[in-house]
Every structure is written in structure tokens, then in C-alpha cells.
Amino acid sequence: MNSAENFSGSYDEARAKFLAAAADGGGALERFVHPETGPEGQELSTDIAWLGPRDADRVLVLISGTHGVEGYCGSGAQVDWLKRGEHTHLPKGTAALLVHAINPYGFAWNRRVTHENVDLNRNWIDFAKPLPENRAYNDLSEAICPRSWDEAAQTQSAAAMMAYAQKHGMPALQQAVSGGQYTHPKGVFFGGAGPTWSRRTQSEIFRSKLASAAKIAIIDYHTGLGPWGFGEQIVPVARDSEAFKRAARWYGASVTSPSGGTSTSADISGDGLSAAAALLPHAEVTGLALEIGTRSVLDVLLALRADAWLHAYGDIGSAQAQAIKKQMRDAFYGDRDDWKGMVAGQSLLATRQAVTGLQRS
């Protein structure tokens, strides 16, 4: 099988491939229609497939599209898993739940964020409590997302950000920009003012489908950090926690943690994997973010900033908009056969390790 054929060039194509592969595999399908439409006016949705016994006490969960445009990767991995027939090798008492395009708006529009301009992996916080502060972002906000996006504005904003990096270090700049912020709704890595549609939908899916599970393994597919095609295995919990130690036993000593400073990711608040344990208190939850590298951090950040400017201040119908959309797609999707093969191979290994881990006492 040519794994590259399981990846797609658009949200619509990805959804069609997922539904066909899940149906062929005997999966039970459900659809959650999104309130917004796609760029062609098409209906958008999150689709789920359940494979295996409904009362399974061990469940493998595969999530694509948490960060919208990163759904090209996750969808391809899910379709590849289905077409390889991996579900037919699940041990007794084990099932799989595949969540396709949990942020379908971002996927369809080549955006990382939801239709509320929210980074879904900064949205899983308790909004009844004081919001996390990011003073460094506040200081850099005008440089990160200027109101103009001409050459002069880009040069000026880049100089301000590099000056911050020279003074505080590049990791500090990454943390300031991508750690999450709750004060600039038109900016990047905005955590929102309340639970998004995607968060509410994922919560509903988890509560309704995983109520009987005693052990749950979650793999959430991401792109944009690290070398081309390399899959970093990120476990977003403290390194001394039992959940991290368990993940290390399953996946190996190369697993990383943002909180321990061993990951390419900033230490963030409000991510979905960390929230899953609280959402599913009856179960032992082992979460993994499989982060596939694409381009340099600076290229990825430039694409994100351009996209934020476009949807806040630009003309979505302009030629410039089309260029920015291509820039976003290229930043988060390695649309080459070698990259797709690396994704499929690393995903296959991780899913098999997760299934094996679920069987351990």
C-alpha cells in the first residue's frame, strides 16, 4: 500500500477518504455539524468512527485537526490506520475511537485556530477562575500582530521580536508568543473567553463514548515543530508524574515534556490532552501528542502571524490572501511522499505501542 495516497489536499477530500475507510472497516459513524461553513460555502463537521465492542474497557483514541490545518497530517494517519486494517488486530476488550477534524473550520480554511480565532490547545481552562497571564505577549503584541502587513511593517515587527530574543533568548521568545494568551482576541495563540464549539463537541464525544472505558490511550496529531518529518512524542504532564512514566514505558525513553524543558513545544496551559484526565476521572488516561516537523520555527510563526492579520484586518478575497493561505498550508503540511511516509510509519508504530500499553495491568 502506498501510504501517500491516504493523505488529502483539502478538508473535503480528507473527510471523504475518512468516511469511506471507516465504513469499509465496519466502523459506526456519527457526525457533529459545525455552525460555520467552509470557503466554498460547504457544510463542515467533526466525524467520529467507533471500531470494536461498545463496552470495551480499553480504548485507543486518535484525534486529527485539533489545530485545523494540521488535520492534513492527522487525517492521513487515521485513514492509513484504517486501510491497513489495524482495527482488525485489536485485542479482545479493546476498541478504537477515531475523531476526525475536531476543528473542521480551521482545517477547511487552512487556519490553525477555530472560527472564534481560538487556539483549541489553549482553550481547556476553567474560565470561572482568573485567566493565565502572559505579560511578555502583552509587551510584544503590536509586533506579533501589526495592523499592517506590508514589507515595512513586517521588517519593523521582526526587528522588535528579534531584539526581545537577543535580550531574553529564543526560548523566551517562543514561550512569550506561543505559550498562550487571553487578552488579545485578534492575536495568535489566543485561548478564548469561554469554551469553543470544538471543546464542547470533544467533551460530548468523550463523555458519551468513553464512559465504560477503564484505560484510554489518546494520540493527538500535530505538525509545525521540529525537523522535516520527524515525530516528537510529547506527553504534556510533569516528568515525575505517573502518567509520564507510564507513557515512557509504552513509547520509550525519547518521550518529551514541555514542563520539563525537553520538548520543542512551549510550556502551555489549556491543552486538551492534559484536560482529558479531568474530563474522564473514572479512567486511566495516557495522552500523547505526535508532533511532526515541517519547516523552521520562524517560517511557521511568520505564517501564523500573516494568517492572524488576514482574518483580523485583511481582505480574504484578495490575491494576498491566497498567498497567505498557501503559506499556512506549506507551514503545517509536508505535501511530499517522503513526509507522508514518515508520518504513516511513525503513527503506525505509536498506535501499536499504545494498543500494547493498554493491555498492561
Q: Tell me how far CA of residue 206 lies from CA of 47, 123, 131, in angstroms.
A: 13, 16, 25
Q: How is residue 188 written as a grid cell?
A: 495568535
The pLDDT of 104-125, averaged and rounded, is 98
- What percent of the chain has pLDDT above 90? 94
Q: How many other CB atoms are found less than 10 A from the CB of residue 356? A: 12
Average pLDDT over residues 19-42: 98
pLDDT of 361 strictly over 70: no
Helices 319-332 and 71-83: angle between axes, nearest 10 degrees: 50
Residue 265's pLDDT is: 77
φ, ψ for residue 156 (rounded to 5)?
-65, -45
CA dihedral in degrees (77, 264, 278, 185; nearest 10)?
-100
Over range 116-129, report the average pLDDT: 97
What tens digit of pLDDT does each residue of 144-183 get? 999 999 999 999 999 999 999 999 998 899 899 999 999 9
pLDDT value at 356 more than 70: yes
* Pairing of the two strands 284-293 and 215-228: parallel
What mean pLDDT do residues 56-74 have? 98
pLDDT digits (tens, 9 = 90+) for 192-222: 999 999 999 999 999 999 999 999 999 999 9
Reduced to 3 states, what is the DSSP secondary structure of residue 180?
A: coil
Map out the domains of the chain with their CATH numbers: 3-128+189-298+328-358 (3.40.630.10), 135-188+300-316 (no CATH)
Mean pLDDT estimate for the chain: 96
Q: What is the pLDDT at residue 269?
A: 80
Q: For residue range 277-312, what is the model confidence (pLDDT) as tens digits?
A: 999 999 999 999 999 999 999 899 999 999 999 999
Model pLDDT for residues 218-259, shown as the tens digit of each residue: 999 999 999 999 999 999 999 999 999 999 999 999 999 988
Q: How confident is the model at residue 1 (pLDDT cuts 50, 70, 90)?
A: confident
pLDDT tier, 267 (very low <50, low <70, confident <90, very high otherwise): confident
Strand ranges (E), the chain: 28-37, 43-51, 58-63, 94-100, 215-228, 231-234, 284-293
Runs of H (alpha helix) within 3-101: 11-24, 71-83
Q: Inform me whether the pLDDT recorded for 266 exceeds 80.
A: no
* Largest Cα–Cα separation, the chain: 62
Computed on alpha carbons and rounded to an integer, the radius of gyration of the chain in Å comes to 19
